Amino acid sequence: MSATSLTALAAQLKAKQVSSRELAQQYLDRIAALNPSINAFITLDTEKTLLEAAAADALIAAGQAGPLIGVPIAHKDIFCTDGWLTTCGSKMLHNFVAPYDAHVIQQFKAAGMPSLGKTNMDEFAMGSSNETSYFGAVKNPWNTAYVPGGSSGGAAACVAARMAPAATGTDTGGSIRQPAALCGITGLKPTYGLVSRYGMIAFASSLDQAGPMAPSAEDCALLLNVMTGFDPKDSTCLERDKEDYTRDLDKPLSGLRVGLPKEFFAEGLNNEVAAAVEAAVSELKKLGATTVEISLANSKLAIPVYYVLAPAEASSNLSRFDGVRYGYRAPEYGNLDDMYCKTRAQGFGAEVKRRILIGAYVLSHGYYDAYYLQAQKIRRLIAEDFNAAFKTCDVILGPTAPGTAFKLGEKSDDPVEMYLNDLYTIPANLAGLPGMSLPCGFDGKGLPIGLQLVGDYFSEAKMLNVAHQYQRVTDWHTRQPEGLK
Amino acid sequence: MKWETVIGLEVHTQLATRSKIFSGSSTAFGAAPNTQASAVDIALPGVLPVLNKSAVECAIKFGLAIGATLNRINVFDRKNYFYPDLPKGYQISQLAKPIVEGGALTIQVGDSERTINLTRAHMEEDAGKSLHEDFHGMSGIDLNRAGTPLLEIVSEPEMRSSAEAVAYARALHTLVTWIGICDGNMQEGSFRVDANVSVRPVGQAEFGTRREIKNLNSFKFLQQAIDYEVRWQIETLEDGGRIEQATVLFDPDSGETRMMRSKEDAHDYRYFPDPDLLPVKLDEDWIEQVRATLPELPAAMQARFQSEYGVSPYDAAVLTGSRALADYFEAAAKACGQGKLAANWVMGELSAALNKADLGIEQSPVSAAHLGALIARIHDGTLSGKLAKQVFEGLWEGAGEVDAIIEARGLKQMSDSGELEKIIDEVMAANAKSVEEFRSGKEKAFNALVGQVMKASKGKANPAQVNESLRKKLTG
């Protein structure tokens, strides 16, 4: 399958050069061929996919064509999908068939986009390598000995391997951007509150945000048009007018002020990544952008702050998985407490349990002020750094991750080393700002390198504009892994 | 040693909203198990809470009614603990910033009035119910109640007897039903009382160690539970024992309290602000809109009843025992223009009849208009008190309008003085002995003669007129 953009696919569908059913079948065939070695999908349901595609064909035939009607998409297994197994990558939900659609799923269904399947992910979105999934690690399509990043590792890998033209992801501390970087695709985490969280299984409610993952920025803009929209079922969803995120794609970049945070180009950053990001900066300058050095001084505290707040929220969000009403329940237990203990001990993996314990600890009596409240204060300082920076620049640019993909198993015994992977992505989640990753090169091992853009609140159209202009003059985003043809 | 009792109450009132506090499910009582539990109520993965505005308005009404401070910024917190009837594994409540702080309630105990200060009132969601019978060694869970809005109302520890605690609970019950935020149905759990009870030697400044009696669902049990608990605590202390902080349950069958859990078992609820809900801001316009929907409150109405209808403070308190009773009284008083008489009738004959028939004022077979018309006929002399009772019976039976009953049953007071003179003459003639005794100075004989005249008139004679005419004839 060629690197066909969503725009091109939609045009082919509208011109009746291909039916949605045929297109879906092509992707399903490729999934059947490649997924055994990549493990990007947890659940496939060919029958359902083809039924949805046939329904899209009927709509196209009836002339009810939306921009992406009939284009198939893969959904992260964190989104409840009516009638589909929805596991969140956990044994705890290994048998949970969702009885309703997440708002994001509703939006894609309403746009006539068939679902190709549910993608693999770190368990409850907790991880940066997709190795914590109960359903096994996802392999990086560029080299299957390497991780794809996480938590939306299945989504990134299936797009990189062209098993799907696009995928949904979610990002709590970098879970869209870091796997997008490690797999060489484009991914965007919108401003917090832009996309409804209803039906998206919560990890850390104040940080979680769904977003699109696809080869290009243009694709992401089209997908974002579908995903966003006010949902009264999510109290944190913002009531704003619908925007067209493709509107500024073709604007020239002359006069664009790109902020380069000095802290993001300091110690800890891989040299090859630094060089690729700096080369990208040169490209943008050629397009008329200027650069300005900025400081995000408190972002060095982002990881400790995140690993107080996210586990605190997670420890509470995951309490509903108690074996009482749905999901996994231990087969044998003595009494109620024993049922809870055994169910949760057996149903959750090690990383999830680690974060529940950290979260319960920082919220407990006597520690709340020292950890949770203190972290909230620093969170505000981190946001204030960004506010100050956006007075002197239009968009912030830096590396998405400190390095490229690492080997499976390389960091799984060292949680802190693993956590450092999200060093550059977490600050945007803490501040609620939009962030995106786009491919900007390869390292000596042939593994993709990602570039991160962070914009001011609701500046997605501008970020997509910058990314699209960059992608017009570069071809990193069109490259495909050689070994998978 | 003399002991003083210290009581503070925590009352869970179910707010009378149509739907739940964070979901659109119905709150109606008595539906088949789990038929009123939506995806949000059973806490499916991915669901989110959305605050019900009318629950907040109920809380605002309450705050305004007790003269409390309304926190302009409201934050919801999660109270984390595991229990099968708590689907999310946490209860959404308010810890640091309750919507209502302070305020006070005036209570009447016997003839004296006391003001009880409130600490706070906060919004939270109710849990479901665990059903331990009928499942052969297993438990059933009914989540219909899960998510029902509650206002937890906490008093200061200012009550000093079970009688005061009951008076406070009753006054609170009156108020929440009066302003329409709670249906007050205690059997269905709409108004549940927890009592914190401690004792201390009279004169000691510090409080004793308290024990909390959970979930009392009648005023009678509240009184019995506190009385038992106070006796138990005093006995324990006098026997040289110590009171350990604990939560206890009251068993109505044995009349005793028993330990549920000690302080050592207390949960660490790991409260933190719920990130799924934004802080709720109460702006002045909204508060004023809610204030405009408040009815006249019991305290204001009591004062007005005293000044407008001349009833005593005690009567005014009784008559404002519920909004329905107060409305009934006022309608009857207006219909006859005789406030004091109306108060006597409402609190006397009518209340007795309703009690006997086990009816509430809302179900009274005698309307306020009819009672007013009856009282008007007493006042204009048409009816004696005794005849009026017979008319009242007619009204109770649904025999028609007051004047029609008087006419049909011939209950009009005798107004023809000639007829009365004749009866008096006959009675004097037939009771010569009594006449003799009266004339020789035995005043008691007069009453016997009055009785005879009333009897001969079949009760229709006007007693005052009988008195006057009889005395004139005996002495004249």
The answer to whether B50 contacts A233, with C-beta atoms less than 8 Å apart, is yes
**What was the pLDDT predicted at A413?**
85
Comparing C-alpha atoms, which of A78, A88, A82 is closest to residue A51?
A: A82
Q: How much is the pLDDT for A143? A: 97
Residue with tokens 């899960």: B146
Check residue B291 and give its pLDDT: 97
* Alpha-carbon span A451 to A440, nearest angstrom: 6
State the pLDDT confidence band at A485, using cuts at 50, 70 and 90.
Answer: low
Residue-wise pLDDT tens digits, B138-168: 889 999 999 999 999 999 999 999 999 999 9
Is A20 tagged catalytic?
A: no
Where residue B426 falls among pLDDT bands split at 50, 70, 90?
Answer: confident
Map out the domains of chain A as residue ranges: 1-485
d(CA A7, nearest CA chain B) in Å? 31
**Known catalytic membership, residue A37:** no
Residue contact B46–A368, C-beta within 8 A? no
User: What letter would DSSP give residue A200?
Assistant: B
Residue scoring higher pLDDT (B29 or A151): A151
Residue of B25, B38, B44, B277 to mutate when probing chain A, most A C-beta within 10 A: B44
Is 70 exceeded by the pLDDT of residue A3? no
Chain A residues inside the 8 Å CB shell of B268: 364-365
In this complex, which of B49, B84, B272 lies closest to A372 when CB atoms are compared?
B272
User: Which pLDDT score is estimated for B419?
Assistant: 81
Percent of chain A whose pLDDT exceeds 70: 99
Chain A contact set for B56 (CB, 8 A): none
Q: Would residue A216 show up in a list of annotated catalytic residues for this protein?
A: no
| Mean pLDDT (chain A, rounded) | 96
Radius of gyration from C-alpha coordinates of chain A: 21
Q: Which phi-psi region, left, alpha or beta, contains residue B291 (left: φ > 0; alpha: ψ -120 to 50)?
A: alpha
| Residues in Cβ contact with A198 at an 8 Å cutoff, skipping those fewer than 6 apart | A102, A103, A231, A233, A234, A237, B46, B47, B48
> Is residue A232 within 8 Å of A241, Cβ to Cβ?
no
Query: Is A198's CB within 8 Å of B268's CB?
Result: no
Q: Which domains does chain B have, with CATH numbers?
A: 3-287 (no CATH), 296-409 (no CATH), 417-475 (1.10.10.410)
Q: How far apart are CA A466 and CA A481, in angstroms?
A: 25
Residue B466 DSSP label: H
A273 φ/ψ sector (left φ>0, alpha ψ -120 to 50, else beta): alpha
Does residue B443 carry a pLDDT above 90?
A: no
Q: Find the mean pLDDT for residues B5-13.
A: 98
Say how far apart CA B135 and CA B137 lie, in whole Å. Answer: 6
CA–CA separation, A427 vs A263, rounded Å?
12
Q: Is the pLDDT of residue A444 over 60?
A: yes
- The residue that leads in pLDDT, B427 or A461, is A461
| More confident of the two residues B435 and A118 | A118
Model confidence pLDDT, tens digit, residues B19-42: 999 999 999 888 999 999 999 999
Token pair 């179910």: residue: B14
Average pLDDT, chain B: 92
Give me the interface pTM, i.e. the ipTM: 0.96
Render pLDDT for B376-391 as a digit per residue (tens, 0 to 9): 988 887 887 888 898 9
Of B46, B80, B275, Cβ closest to residue A319 = B80
- B112 versus B263: the higher-pLDDT residue is B112
How many other CB atoms are found less than 10 A from the CB of residue A130?
Answer: 35
The amino acid sitting at A58 is: A
pLDDT tens-digit series, residues B111-125: 788 999 999 999 999
Interface residue ranges in chain A relative to chain B, Cβ cutoff 8 Å: 79-80, 86, 88, 93, 96, 98-100, 102, 197-202, 204-206, 232-236, 312-313, 315-316, 318-322, 324-326, 336, 340, 360, 363-365, 368, 372
Fold classification of A1-485 is Amidase signature (AS) enzymes (3.90.1300)
pLDDT score of B415: 66
pLDDT of residue A228: 97
pLDDT in the model for residue B468: 84
Does the pLDDT at position B439 exceed 70?
A: yes
Report pLDDT digits (tens) over B291-316: 999 999 998 999 999 999 999 988 99
Residues in B touching A368 (Cβ below 8 Å): 270-272
A201:B45 CB<8 A: yes
HSE (side-chain half, CA atoms, 13 Å) at B236: 16
Measured between alpha carbons, how far is A207 from A410 in angstroms, rounded to an integer? 27
Long-range contacts of A221-225 (CB under 8 A, 24+ apart): A221/A245, A221/A246, A221/A249, A221/A461, A221/A464, A221/A468, A222/A6, A222/A7, A222/A67, A222/A68, A222/A246, A223/A6, A223/A68, A223/A73, A223/A166, A223/A168, A224/A188, A224/A190, A224/A460, A224/A464, A225/A67
- Active-site residue, from A20, A76, A152, A299: A76
The residue-averaged pLDDT of A217-230 equals 97
Q: Do A336 and B84 touch (CB under 8 A)?
A: yes
In this structure, which amino acid lies at residue B313? P
Comparing alpha-carbon positions, the chain B residue that sits nearest to A319 is B89
B97/B121 Cα distance (integer angstroms) = 10
Instruction: State the Cα–Cα distance between residues A90 and A169, nearest whole angstrom.
Output: 17
CB A347 within 8 A of CB A326: no
The pLDDT value given to residue B465: 81
Other C-beta atoms within 10 Å of A270: how many? 15
B137 touching chain A per CB within 8 A = no
Per-residue pLDDT band at B413 (split at 50, 70, 90): confident
pLDDT higher for A363 or B474? A363
A368 in Cβ contact with A323 (< 8 Å)? no
